[in-house]
Amino acid sequence: MRAVIQRVTEASCTVDNQVTGEIQQGLLVLLGIEDADTEEDLIWLAQKIVNMRIFSDENGLMNKSLMEVDGKVLLISQFTLFAATKKGNRPGFTRAAKPDKAIPLYERMAKELETHTGKKTETGIFGADMKIRLLNDGPVTIVMDTKNKE
């Protein structure tokens, strides 16, 4: 799994002019899933997301986690995080999991994040043409890959 995690003061997802999810302070998480991903990867990544100390404390230092600032998560599926770009000019997406594998893991990630935060995880719609708006705070953007957790 790959995740692009952005600290935001606000973020929203719109599909067909309808808002499907929106948050104020929290994290916008763009999630890419590949065939090799497991439940273990999902649990590890969810714990890292909610406990990562990337929010400012009273001294302006990144010492607080999502949990400590009472933030929320907007989770967006994004298969393009597994784009292969070495050959030619058209990216290939063969490493991205097909919907029959990716959808259950995406839904499970939303539930896992809810379990940790105690709040509803806001989401987009898997496979839809989504419009994402955000106000990146900092900017703070972290890229994580569960294949690099060692």
- In the chain, % of residues over pLDDT 70: 100
9-13: Cβ within 8 A, 24+ apart: 9/135, 9/137, 10/133, 10/134, 10/135, 11/74, 11/132, 11/133, 11/134, 11/135, 12/74, 12/132, 12/133, 12/134, 13/74, 13/76, 13/122, 13/123, 13/124, 13/125, 13/130, 13/131, 13/132
Digit-coded pLDDT (tens) for 83-99 = 888 888 988 888 899 99
How much is the pTM? 0.95
Which amino acids are annotated catalytic?
A: 80
Mean of the per-residue pLDDT values of the chain: 95
Digit-coded pLDDT (tens) for 34-71 = 999 999 999 999 999 999 999 999 999 999 999 999 99
- In the chain, % of residues over pLDDT 90: 88
Q: Which two tokens stand for residue 79?
A: 């298969």
Q: Domain 2-138 in CATH: superfamily?
A: D-tyrosyl-tRNA(Tyr) deacylase (3.50.80.10)
* Of 8, 30, 35, 24, the residue nearest 109 (C-alpha): 30
Residue 149 has pLDDT above 90, yes or no: no
At 75 the pLDDT is 98
At 57 the pLDDT is 95
Query: 72-77 and 26-32 as β-strands: parallel, antiparallel, unpaired?
Result: parallel
Where are the domains positioned within the chain?
2-138
Helix or strand holding residue 76 (H, E) = strand 72-77
Taking the mean position of all CA atoms in its chain, how far away is CA 96?
15
